[in-house]
Amino acid sequence: MPVATSDDTAPEGYTTVHGYYRFTDIFYEWSRALTDCDLQEVRNVKAFIAYDAIVDPEHPLAVEDGGFKMYLGTLPNGEKRLMFSSAQIEYIQYWLHAMKLTREPIALPSSEYLIQEKDLQHVSSVVYKSGQEFKKAQKVLEKNNKKLKGTSTLLGTRRLNFDRARSFWLDKRGAWLAIDFEDWDREHTVLLEFGYSWVQWRDGQKIEDRGHLIVKEHKKYFNTYVPNYREHYNFGTSEEVSRAEFKQKINDLITDLSQDQPLFLIFHDYRGDIEHLQSKAIQAPISGFTTVIPELVPSRGIFVLDTRELFSALEGESFVNHSKLERVCRLLGFKPEYLHNAGNDAHYTMLVAAEMISNEEVDTQRERRWPGRTSTTGVGGGPGVRVQFNQWEEESDISDTEGILGGWARAGNVPT
C-alpha cells in the first residue's frame, strides 16, 4: 500500500478531497508502507489501531458513550466495506506526532486508495465496544460479501433501502407514519376502517401517537373471507366517524406530519393502501411519493417503506409473497392479536419496522437474530444469504405445539 508523497500534496488554492479508507488497507498495509519510520514508530502505529486498543474508552478517538466508530460503505455491486474516514486517519497522524510517538508526522495512505462518497451507494456508521465484537463483525461482513456475489439486483435494492431508512431513523430525522385500511371484501372501494401509528422527534425527544377510525355509515358491512375485528382494537379506544370526517382526518394527519420535514409512509404491502389513499373517497396529499429512499436526508417529500421488503432484506430473500404481517411479527419476536383490525395492523407494522431499522445494520442483525442459519444458496440454487427458518417458527397454527413437541405434534398426537 503506497503512502502519500510530495506529489500527493494538494497545490495551494485546491481543496483536499476527503473520503474513506478500507479497514483492511489501514489495519494490515499502512504500517508496512511506512518505510521512513523506524521499527518503534511502526509498532506505535500498529498498537494505536489494534483491535483492543481502538475500542478502549480512553482511546483518543473513542465516542462519547464508549467504543470506536467505523463506517460501512455499500459498493455499487451491493457488497460492503468496513472503513475508516480520512478525518480519522489524519487525526491518527496528528496525535501520534503530538504525543512524540513519531519523530515526524507519518505519511498518509496514497490518495489512490481513497474511496469517495460518490463511489458508494450508501455510508452508515457503526460503533464497536469490544475487540471481539469488532473481529466478529469483520468476519460476518466478509462471509456475506462472498454470498452476495451474483445475487439478484432486487435484493440489492431492498438492502440499500433498509440501510438508508436505518440511517434516517437513527439520526431521528423526519416523521414515520404506519397506516392500514380495512375494506369490504366484496367491494374494495367500501372503506370500513383506518389505522395509524406515527413517530417523530422534536428537539431530540421521541413523540408518538396511534389511533383507529371506524366509518359509521359502513358498520353494516361485514366481511365474508376476512375476520371482522373492527371492535377489537388493542391499543386504545376506536373512534367512529362519518365518511366526511374519515377523509378529513386522514388528510389532516398526512398534511400535519409532512410539514417542513420528510414523511416516511410505512405499509405492509403498500399497493392496496396507496390505492385507497389516492381514491376519490380519500384523495390524500401524497402526489409525487416515491419508493426509493434517497442517500441524503431530504428536507421535504413523501417516501414509501414496505415492511415486507424491509424483512426481505433482513432475511436475505428475493421474494416476499409469503411474508404476511403475522409471519414477520412472529419472526421478530412479537405476538400479534386481532390482525385485520386496521388500528392493530398499523401499529404492528410500525413495531416491526422500528424493530428492524433501529438495530444493527442488516447483515450483523441477521446473524445476531438467527446465528449460523444463513444458507449459502438462494431461491433456485443461486447465491444468497437466506435464513433457514423452521416451519413451526413461521406458521401460527402449529407454532405453539410443534416448537415444543416437534414431530410428535406433526403426527397428530396433540390432545383435543
Is this model's pTM higher than 0.75 or not? Answer: yes
CA 46 from centroid of its chain's CA atoms: 33
**Residues in the chain, overall count:** 416
Q: What is the pLDDT of residues 86-103, one digit of tens each?
A: 999 999 999 999 999 999
Cα separation, 122 vs 156, whole angstroms: 12
In the predicted model, what is the mean pLDDT of residues 373-387? Answer: 62
Neighbours of 381 (CB within 10 A): 7
**Beta-bridge mates of residue 296:** none
For the chain, the domains span 6-150, 170-380
Sign of the C-alpha dihedral, residues 35, 41, 47, 49? negative
Would you say 290 and 327 are in contact if contact means Cβ atoms under 8 Å apart? no
Range in 1-15, 20-34, 339-353 with the lowest mean pLDDT: 1-15
Q: Which pLDDT does position 304 carry in this prediction?
A: 95
Residues 258 and 175: beta-carbon distance below 8 Å: yes
Task: With a cut of 80, say whether residue 377 has pLDDT above it.
Answer: no
d(CA 388, CA 316): 10
Model pLDDT, residue 121: 85
Beta strands in 216-298 (DSSP E): 239-241, 263-267
Q: In this model, does residue 104 exceed pLDDT 90?
A: yes
Q: How is residue 321 annotated by DSSP?
A: T
pLDDT tens, position by position, 300-313: 999 999 999 999 99
Q: What is the reported pLDDT for 125?
A: 86
Count the helices and strands in the chain (H runs, E runs). 15, 10
Options 3.40.50.970, 3.40.50.11400, 3.30.420.10, 3.30.70.3040; which CATH number does 170-380 get? 3.30.420.10
Q: Tell me, what's the pLDDT at 408?
A: 33
- Torsion sign across C-alpha atoms 396, 401, 407, 411: negative
Please report which helix (H) or strand (E) contains residue 390, including its range: none
